[in-house]
């Protein structure tokens, strides 16, 4: 073997230049190849998600609707009653709102901050044309509630376009009239328990998938190729059926007058009166989601198990381990990468699952994603939906990070 060493500095400089040039060319080619996908992801994925996340902290609607008020109240320190300029601002903004017929959203936003503010705003807007200076006396005469400092504090909070209130709402908290952060009253707390339920159901589904999927993957990896290929078709079969069809099939099977209940009644396990509630509750969600997500557990497990040579178990047996010890101490640890990948995949998919819980979840089986969809489509509180989504995203990223740390296996190569 001979190695040619470039000795003269001139030579070495030119050869480095040539190397950089040839590498640059290759990099450019790679960039051109991925460019379409990169642009697609940028405009169809990263940009809209970024915009959505921005909404969770940035809400300029109130400030845009009440420009004069916002400008005047900035001077007010927040205690006592605001200066006359603020009162005049409210009065003039109300006139404008009434003319454009846009008092509704402002009233709604203020009502979230302080109950009873809706009727105050609507009443003031209706009568705004009749108010004359000094506005303070005129408005207090119209409704004595204007004399309450808390309504002005609420206006001041809303006047800032950057706000923590969606995040606070997403974890069942709010800024109270006095300006301190407190929990929502018990009967209005929903999101915290919904987050917990989502994590819990996802965890149970992941565990069920692991318990059901591990033996199947083991079998697939160790059978002769001819037979395992046929079995693999059965594993992949669900992918070729619409998600909606599979979910509704579960409704047919599990409903009160469905196949499973009828069989149980027929075999005298249950009577007609005690037919089990298997669907439109948490049980239904767990059953259907386990079925739908099972292939996502089996495939990574299978791909890892395929690489574990049977010789290791043989070696363990020859060294004196019985079948159980050889399996648990030698085989299972070598499949941890597959277990980790499968669990992470199933868990992340489950946490964001939407269609199945919406169809079979009933009340006790809905997940946080159903609530996000509700705020996007029905209540139109996009700021709250964005905050809920952002919290979900952060939780998953944190989970992925700790998982990576614990297992020391970088599955996707992001950690």
Partner 1 sequence: MEQGRSIVHFVNVGKTYDGERLIVDDLSLEIARGEFLTLLGPSGSGKTTTLMMLAGFETPTRGQILLNGQEINRLAPHRRGIGMVFQNYALFPHMTVAENLAFPLNVRALGKAEVEARVIRALDLVKLGGFAARRPAQLSGGQQQRIAVARALIFEPELVLMDEPLGALDKQLREGMQYEIRELHQRLGVTIVYVTHDQAEALTMSDRIAVFDQGKIQQLASPTELYEKPRTSFVANFVGDNNLMAAEVDTLRSDHLCSVVLEGGDKVIAVATDDLMPGQKVMLSLRPERLRLDPDAGAGTSSRLKGVIEEIVYLGDHMRIFVRTANQVRFLIKAANKEPHHGLTKGGMLTFGWSAQDCRALPV
Interface positions with partner 1 (CB under 8 A): 309, 311-312, 314-323, 325-326, 329-330, 333-334, 336
Minimum CB separation of residue 174 from partner 1 in Å reads 50
**Between 144 and 320, whose beta carbon lies closer to partner 1?**
320
List residues bridging with 162 in a β-sheet: 58
Distances (CA, A) of 256 to 193, 251, 375: 28, 9, 31
Which tokens belong to 334?
A: 């070598």
Size of the chain, expressed as the number of residues it contains: 415
Start-end of H helices in 186-236? 191-222, 225-236
Shortest Å, Cβ 414 to partner 1: 24
Contacts of 387 (CB under 8 A, 6+ apart): 56, 57, 166, 167, 169, 170
> Is 135:91 a contact under the CB 8 Å cutoff?
yes
Shortest distance, position 314 Cβ to partner 1, whole Å: 6
For partner 1, the closer CB: 121 or 316: 316
Q: Which is nearer to partner 1, 13 or 329 (CB)?
A: 329
Shortest spacing between CB 334 and partner 1, in angstroms: 6
What are the strands, taking DSSP E only, across 68-195?
Answer: 173-175, 181-183
CB of 316 to partner 1, least distance (A): 7
Instruction: Give 192 or 306: the residue with its C-beta nearer to partner 1.
Output: 306
The least CB distance from residue 337 to partner 1, in Å, is: 10
> Which residue, 281, 284, 286, 289, is CA-closest to 362?
281
Nearest to 388 by CA among 198, 195, 133: 195
Cα(159)–Cα(68) distance, integer angstroms: 11
Closer to partner 1 by CB, 12 or 323: give it: 323
For partner 1, the closer CB: 242 or 322? 322
Name which of 163 and 335 has its Cβ closer to partner 1.
335
Closest distance to partner 1 from the beta carbon of 409 (Å): 11
72 burial (CB, 10 Å; 0-12 / 13-18 / 19+) is buried
In sequence order, which residues have a C-beta less than 8 Å from that of residue 407 and are 6 or more positions away? 336, 337, 340
The pair of three-digit structure tokens given for residue 332, joined into one six-digit string: 């299972």
The nearest distance, CB 15 to partner 1, in angstroms, is 34
Residue 406 Cβ vs partner 1, minimum distance, rounded to whole Å: 15
Residue 171's SS3 state is coil
- Nearer to partner 1 by C-beta: 189 or 334? 334
In the bound state with partner 1, the residue whose beta carbon lies nearer, of 326 and 387, is 326
Is the CB of 215 or the CB of 333 nearer to partner 1?
Answer: 333
CB of 330 to partner 1, least distance (A): 6
Q: Are 304 and 337 in contact (CB under 8 A)?
A: yes
Cβ-contact 399, 329 below 8 angstroms = no
Rounded Cα gap, residues 123 and 201, in angstroms:
47
Calculate the alpha carbon distances from 148 to 74, 195, 221, 348 in Å: 18, 36, 72, 48
């Amino acid at each position: 073997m001979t190695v040619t060493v470039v000795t003269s500095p001139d030579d070495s400089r030119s050869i480095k230049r040539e190397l950089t040039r040839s590498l640059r060319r290759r990099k450019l080619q790679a960039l051109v190849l991925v460019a379409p996908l990169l642009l697609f992801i940028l405009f169809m994925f990263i940009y809209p998600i970024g915009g959505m996340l921005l909404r969770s902290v940035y809400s300029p609607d109130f400030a845009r609707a009440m420009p004069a008020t916002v400008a005047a109240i900035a001077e007010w320190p927040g205690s006592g009653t605001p200066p006359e300029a603020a009162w005049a601002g409210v009065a003039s903004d109300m006139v404008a709102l009434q003319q454009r017929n846009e008092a509704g959203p402002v009233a709604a936003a203020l009502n979230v901050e302080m109950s009873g503010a809706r009727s105050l705003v609507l009443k003031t807007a209706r009568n705004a044309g009749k108010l004359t200076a000094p506005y303070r006396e005129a408005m207090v005469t119209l409704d004595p509630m204007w004399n309450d400092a808390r309504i002005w504090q609420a206006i001041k909070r809303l006047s800032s376009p950057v706000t923590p209130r969606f995040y606070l709402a997403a974890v069942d908290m709010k800024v109270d009239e006095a300006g301190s952060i407190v929990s929502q009253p018990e009967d209005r707390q929903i999101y915290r328990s919904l987050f917990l339920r989502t994590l819990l159901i996802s965890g149970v589904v992941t565990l069920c998938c692991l318990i059901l999927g591990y033996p199947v993957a083991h079998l697939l990896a160790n059978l002769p190729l001819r037979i395992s290929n046929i079995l693999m078709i059965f594993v992949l079969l669900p992918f070729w059926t619409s998600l909606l069809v599979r979910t509704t099939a579960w409704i047919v099977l599990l409903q009160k007058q469905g196949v499973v209940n009828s069989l149980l009644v027929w075999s005298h396990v249950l009577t007609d009166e005690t037919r089990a509630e298997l669907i439109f509750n948490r049980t239904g969600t767990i059953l259907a989601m386990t079925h739908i997500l099972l292939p996502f557990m089996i495939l990574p497990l299978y791909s890892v198990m395929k690489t574990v040579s049977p010789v290791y178990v043989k070696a363990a047996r020859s060294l004196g381990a019985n079948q159980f010890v050889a399996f648990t101490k030698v085989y299972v640890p070598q499949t941890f990468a597959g277990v980790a990948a499968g669990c992470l995949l199933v868990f992340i998919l489950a946490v964001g699952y939407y269609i199945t819980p919406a169809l079979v979840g009933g009340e006790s089986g809905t997940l946080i994603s159903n609530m996000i969809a509700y705020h996007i489509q029905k209540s139109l509180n996009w700021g709250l939906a964005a905050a809920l989504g952002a919290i979900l995203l952060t939780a998953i990223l944190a989970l992925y990070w700790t998982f990576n740390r614990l297992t020391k296996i970088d599955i996707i190569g992001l950690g």
